[in-house]
Amino acid sequence: MSDIQLSVQGLWKTFHPGLFEADVEALKGLSFEVGRGEIFGFLGPNGAGKTTTIKAICEIIRPDAGTINVCGHPHTAPAAKRKLGFMSESPYVYRHLSGREYLRFCGELLGLPPAGMEARIAGVLDEVGMASRADRGLGTYSKGMQQRIGLAQALLGDPELLILDEPMSGLDPLGRRDVRDIILARAAAGATVFFSSHIIPDVEALCDRVAIVVDGRLRAIGTVDELLARDPVSFELTFTGAALDGLATPLEASHERSDATWVRVATPHRDALLAELGGRGARLLSLNPVRISLEDLLVEHSAEPTT
Ligand SMILES: Nc1ncnc2c1ncn2[C@@H]1O[C@H](COP(=O)(O)OP(=O)(O)OP(=O)(O)O)[C@@H](O)[C@H]1O
Ligand SMILES: [Mg+2]
């Protein structure tokens, strides 16, 4: 990757919750890179260290060791901050402000020039579908509306690198589609997007590459296709003209439909089953590999002990 927009190298973080509580090793030497223009998904089970990593990138917490570069600058540099837009897992919003007032406040904190500020705010409100609700108090917003305002805030500075912690959580299917569209539009306009998520279909639909983190360590990284490119774990067959009774080959599952028989067989037993069915005069209608899904992969990695 020639043009790296986010580089995280050897990140370690241990939390010390208190005198009588055990330390929590949240990050154990985590490293990865995200290239310009990529949409990058950050996956892992609860407590894996995703939010801790994101907070470290945005300098909300300080790692014990490691280096982070944002758009070619050390992440602590003001130049890095200007290029980064961040939406937190639980956007903290000021209940007494309206959506528009909140964005004005955020714009001032970002140091955006006052000239053009209102137009810029109107633009992002429109982008997240909140223009008609912008003058209502944040305290009256639903979770989904708060999420959208949080996203508007992240987009306000027109960032080169968007970092979103669980941007789809709490949204209905329409809201999720809107957020997907916003991410795609920003990426098409040249932004790099890094987001954590538990919603696998969104990750599969959007991400150029994904990383799986478990227990503070990187477990897998690559395109979705690369991560899923494995031999099929089993095969599904449909056939007619032969009964299932007395088959010697072990099956994972079977179902005798009115029009055909459906079976699932583990890959090592596939050829034996085909031979056996052939011997019984069966007519094969279909034979399809069952590939591992991203969800299966995540469950597999989450379940494996870490070393
Ligand atoms: N301030 C803190 N003090 C103590 N422990 C913490 C603190 N913040 C996070 N942790 C611990 O660090 C680990 C990683 O937490 P983190 O929030 O990064 O996980 P996550 O991957 O974002 O999980 P989720 O999917 O639930 O959002 C967890 O064990 C968590 O309890
Ligand atoms: Mg989190």
Q: Is 265 a pocket residue for ligand 1 (Cβ < 6 Å)?
A: no
pLDDT at 93: 65
Q: What are the residue boundaries of the structural domains of the chain, listed by start?
A: 4-228, 234-290
Is the entire prediction scored with pTM above 0.75? yes
Kindly give the distance from the C-alpha atom of residue 168 to the centroid of ligand 2, in angstroms, as a whole number: 13
Cβ proximity of 243 and 221 under 8 Å: no
Instruction: Give alpha helix (H) positions in the chain.
Output: 50-57, 78-82, 99-110, 117-127, 143-155, 173-188, 200-206, 224-228, 270-279, 294-303
pLDDT at 143: 84
pLDDT at 2: 52
Kindly give the distance from the C-alpha atom of residue 194 to the centroid of ligand 2, in angstroms, as a whole number: 14
- Number of neighbours of residue 178 by Cβ within 10 angstroms: 19
pLDDT at 300: 84
Closest C-alpha to ligand 1, atom 17? 51
Q: Is 60 a pocket residue for ligand 1 (Cβ < 6 Å)?
A: no
pLDDT at 307: 53
pLDDT at 228: 83
Task: Chunk the chain into consecutive blocks of 10 residues (it has 307) and report each block's average pLDDT, rounded to whole numbers.
Answer: 87 92 94 96 94 96 97 94 90 82 92 92 95 93 88 95 93 89 94 93 92 95 87 91 93 93 95 96 94 84 71
pLDDT at 17: 87
Q: Is 44 a pocket residue for ligand 1 (Cβ < 6 Å)?
A: yes
Closest C-alpha to ligand 1, atom 28? 47
Q: Is 52 a pocket residue for ligand 1 (Cβ < 6 Å)?
A: yes
Cβ proximity of 169 and 199 under 8 Å: yes
pLDDT at 237: 96
- Does CATH place domain 4-228 in 3.30.200.20? no
Q: Is 199 a pocket residue for ligand 1 (Cβ < 6 Å)?
A: no
Q: Is 129 a pocket residue for ligand 1 (Cβ < 6 Å)?
A: no
